[in-house]
């Protein structure tokens, strides 16, 4: 099921995830791609480009093609709105590789207020599983830190065919 954040809540998305917060993350991707690719990469295909927050920085360096499953995410942000967010990550089944993130959003549209709950199932596979699967289909895999926010770091898998 598609999370509300990438559907009905798209008009508020830019308030939750502002472009300016993506400089460090986009720079990490760019540096990883530039170190990995010879000759110097000129084009970039982003799957799941969302609101284009990383792409805002990528397009200074690459000729970009952006795609997303959600048509709404590729539109322009709406203005005159406000949002607050409570995020709660928890693990309903410690025996699998997934976890749940629940969001409570009070949303303001002009003078109208409403509250919305959204649930995301995240995690999918462990880092070890990703590395194994990518190596099994012939990639040389290098793992780099992905700056995420002040508290968290994600993972970038840089995959090369020898
Ligand atoms: C966290 S947002 C993306 C953020 C984006 N990289 C940016 O820089 O703003 C995740 C996006 O992935 C998209 N998405 C999720 N599953 C997808 C799939 N299977 N194919 C393409 N896009 C997908 C969602 O619609 C959403 O826009």
Which residue has the least CA distance to atom 7 on ligand 1?
53
Q: pLDDT at position 2, please?
A: 83
53 CB near ligand 1 (under 6 Å): yes
3-class secondary structure per residue, the chain: CCCHHHCCCHHHHHHHCCHHHHHHHHHHHHHHHHHHCCCCCCEEEEECCCCCHHHHHHCCCCEEEEECCCCHHHCCCCCCEEECCEEEEECCCCCCCCEEEEEEEEEEECCEEEEEEEEEEECCCCHHHHHHHHHHCCCEEEEEEEECCCCCEEEEEEEECC
- What is the average pLDDT across 8-32? 94
68 CB near ligand 1 (under 6 Å): yes
Which residue has the least CA distance to atom 18 on ligand 1?
69
pLDDT digits (tens, 9 = 90+) for 36-77: 999 999 999 999 999 999 999 999 999 999 999 999 998 877
Q: What is the spatial distance between Cα 66 and Cα 51, in angstroms, rounded to a whole number?
A: 10
Q: pLDDT at position 162, please?
A: 86
Here the tokens at position 67 are: 């795609």
C-alpha 73 to ligand 1 mean position (Å) = 8
Here the tokens at position 57 are: 């920085």
Q: pLDDT at position 147, please?
A: 86
pLDDT digits (tens, 9 = 90+) for 108-155: 999 999 999 999 999 888 889 999 999 999 999 999 999 887 777 889
C-alpha 47 to ligand 1 mean position (Å) = 7
Which residue has the least CA distance to atom 2 on ligand 1?
50
pLDDT digits (tens, 9 = 90+) for 87-99: 999 999 999 999 9
128 CB near ligand 1 (under 6 Å): no
Of ligand 1's listed atoms, the one at least distance from the Cα of 46 is 6
Sketch the domain layout of the chain as residue ranges.
4-124, 126-162
- What does pTM read for this prediction? 0.88
Q: What is the spatial distance between Cα 85 and Cα 22, in angstroms, rounded to a whole number?
A: 19
Residue of 3, 4, 6 best suited for mutating to test ligand 1, as the one with most atoms within 8 Å of CB: 6
């Amino acid at each position: 099921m598609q999370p509300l954040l990438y559907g009905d809540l798209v008009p508020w998305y830019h308030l939750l995830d502002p472009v300016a917060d993506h400089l460090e993350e986009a720079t990490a991707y760019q540096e990883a791609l530039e170190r990995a690719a010879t000759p110097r990469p000129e084009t970039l295909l982003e799957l799941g480009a969302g609101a284009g927050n990383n792409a805002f920085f990528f397009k200074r360096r690459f000729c970009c093609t952006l795609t997303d499953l959600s048509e709404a995410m590729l539109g322009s942000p709406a203005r005159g709105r406000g949002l607050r967010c409570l995020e709660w990550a928890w693990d309903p089944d410690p025996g699998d590789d997934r976890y749940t993130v629940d969001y409570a959003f009070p949303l303001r549209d002009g003078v109208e207020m409403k509250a919305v709950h959204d649930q995301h199932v995240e995690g999918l596979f462990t880092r070890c599983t990703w590395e194994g699967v990518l190596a099994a289909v012939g990639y040389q895999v290098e793992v780099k830190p992905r700056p995420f926010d002040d508290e968290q770091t994600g993972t970038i898998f840089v995959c090369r065919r020898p």
